[in-house]
Structure 1
């Protein structure tokens, strides 16, 4: 597979920060650096890869809290999420205080993402899917060649994302999963924001919130 994945749980919420690596070029992207930036940088050094960008699925504190620091220390561009999450980025200092996280700084992404955008990482192409519901600006990164999706907090192994935060929308979340994720194929493995990986096929069969058996 041209794409390697290294999952590093960070923050008290055990958020899955994922380092994506193009195995042919050793270029790397850090997806959702929620915090513990020293550990993320140490992992990049251990892997001996060339970090070239930060990718954000959404802007909740446990996914985006380390973004500004990591971008500054490694001089990396920040890509994503969708502009619907601007208010979450602007509120990061308040989020950090509310959840007892270290103080963080607001940032401006170098590129906001739209549904259908494509991101190049070395020789790997990632497709961007806008998947609102958990947050209005949530996006998913999908590699068709690797049959892999990074779904943030949209879908979990056996569960779905919360929609009780400001501008969450349960109906939109279900539509994002059923209309934009499941059609990618049952054999697609996904890395979620918390907990173990799964496949869309497994969730279609067994997830109590979005399985085919719910009608």
Structure 2
């Protein structure tokens, strides 16, 4: 699996362009905005956009989804169904945070823990990781030892839990039971900030390190 991190929106959100090197088919993970720029990047790489994948429904992760899906004619997969209320609230979120008005959408496929998604010939596992939001999911590509974790875990931090239906204890449980189990050598792309590894965060993250 190949990837490029594209930072978008005033929130500096990490949208990830993922693609299968064999087929050149691609997915945009969490296209929070700047649709023109994201689609231009797909074209510049000579890729065929196959789908959009969403970890959760916050505006900085999902704000560009409907426009890109419409313009590219691709389906939307994710997040988990408990995220429906956040996606339905995207127009309100755009007004609240000063984003351009977003288009409404319904995911073509809601995801559950244990599901898989494909990009070309590549398969990613789906992990339901509530806590930051109730329907948050993580995508894991075992062959590349790469996880896309949205706003669950960051380098040196964890996701906020002060939003509606967020819960700190649930988030910590998601991290310790779902992400730690992926293995220390797994690298992850967070929703904001630099990449890290599961092992580094398990040892040193002040919110969830072992021994705390």
TM-score range, shorter chain: over 0.9
Give deviations 1:29-52, integer Å, cap 9, x for gaps: 000000000000110011110100
- Return the match for 2:140 from 142, 161, 174: 142
Matches within 5 A, 1:31-70: 31-70=29-68
Q: Which runs of 5+ in 1 are unaligned?
A: none
Shift of 1:213: 2.6
Equivalent residue, structure 1, for 2:12: 14
Shift of 1:11: 0.3
Equivalent residue, structure 1, for 2:174: 176
2-structure distance, mates of 1:155, 1:96: 24
1-structure distance, mates of 2:181, 2:139: 15
Give TM-score, length-normalised by structure 1: 0.98
Shift of 1:177: 0.3
2-structure distance, mates of 1:96, 1:111: 23
1-structure distance, mates of 2:53, 2:101: 21
Equivalent residue, structure 1, for 2:106: 108
- Return the match for 1:75 from 58, 73, 85: 73
Tell me the C-alpha RMSD between the 2 structures.
Answer: 0.5
Q: Which runs of 5+ in 2 are unaligned?
A: none
2-structure distance, mates of 1:88, 1:17: 18
- Return the match for 1:26 from 24, 27, 31: 24
Q: Report the secondary structure of 1:145's partner residue.
A: helix
Give deviations 1:78-113, integer Å, cap 9, x for gaps: 000000010001000000000000000221000000
2-structure distance, mates of 1:59, 1:194: 15
Q: Report the secondary structure of 1:142's partner residue.
A: strand
Shift of 1:173: 0.3
Structure 1 stretches of 4+ moved >2 Å: none
2-structure distance, mates of 1:58, 1:182: 20
Q: Report the secondary structure of 1:212's partner residue.
A: coil
Count of equivalent residues: 212
1-structure distance, mates of 2:103, 2:48: 25
Q: Report the secondary structure of 1:187's partner residue.
A: coil
Equivalent residue, structure 1, for 2:3: 5
Equivalent residue, structure 2, for 1:159: 157
